[in-house]
Amino acid sequence: MVLDIVEYPDKRLRKKSQEVKNFDLDLHRLLDDMYETMMQESGIGLAAIQVAEPIRALIINLPDEEGNQDRENLLEMINPVITHKEGEVFYQEGCLSVPTFYEDIKRFEKVNVNFQDRFGNTKTIEADELLAIAIQHEMDHLDGILFIDKLSYARRKKFEKEYKKYQREKKNKQKKSA
């Protein structure tokens, strides 16, 4: 089932997500619905809080070299913890909860992460390049942090202005279809 995505400035995005303790059918259903929702909206990463579930779960599905987004490459991370971080990189990030806005954000170049899979099995991953960036972006959501929080004052102003335009246009569209 495709779920609604919570969009900025909705306060729910600021909630700290809680540890997952039950690796049950409800969790599996949520992860499956998150995947459907992410594909529908052409995303590469999604945290549970973005579909209004404040639990420490996220999914990432990066395109391969040919640009195909294969479900076999789907990464599901429950209760992730960064155990090592190094280097720095800039990447132009976007977010399904902040549609149409993209800006360069500084991240660690490499991260090691401990997490659990949907069955509660403990895993560890060494990530770099786009995967490292995606993990940091999605893990920020678990603590109520958005990529726009990392902008300088001037760029944040530019964002607020551009985003108002997006919100205005969205409202107009809704009026027309009503």
Binding site for Co ion (CB under 5 A): 95
In whole angstroms, the minimum distance from the beta carbon of 90 to ligand QAP comes to: 11
Judging by beta carbons within 10 Å of its beta carbon (0-12, 13-18, 19+), is residue 76 exposed, middle or buried? Answer: buried
Nearest to 57 by CA among 136, 107, 129, 117: 117
**Residues 6+ positions from 28 with CB-CB distance below 8 Å:** 118
Given the residues 53, 138, 160, 162, the one annotated as active site: 138
> What residue is closest to ligand QAP based on CB?
43
Task: Please check whether residue 113 is in contact with residue 135, taking contact to mean a CB–CB distance below 8 angstroms.
Answer: yes
In the complex with ligand QAP, the residue whose CB is nearer, 30 or 93, is 93
Cα distance between residue 79 and residue 36, in whole Å: 21
Tell me the chain's radius of gyration from C-alpha atoms: 16
The item of ligand QAP, Co ion, none sharing an interface with residue 109, based on CB under 5 to 8 Å by kind, is: none
Q: Is 129 a catalytic residue?
A: no
In the complex with ligand QAP, the residue whose CB is nearer, 56 or 137, is 137
Which positions lie near ligand QAP, rule CB under 6 A? Answer: 41-45, 91, 93-96, 99-100, 130, 133-134, 137
In whole angstroms, the minimum distance from the beta carbon of 147 to Co ion comes to: 7
What positions carry a catalytic annotation? 138
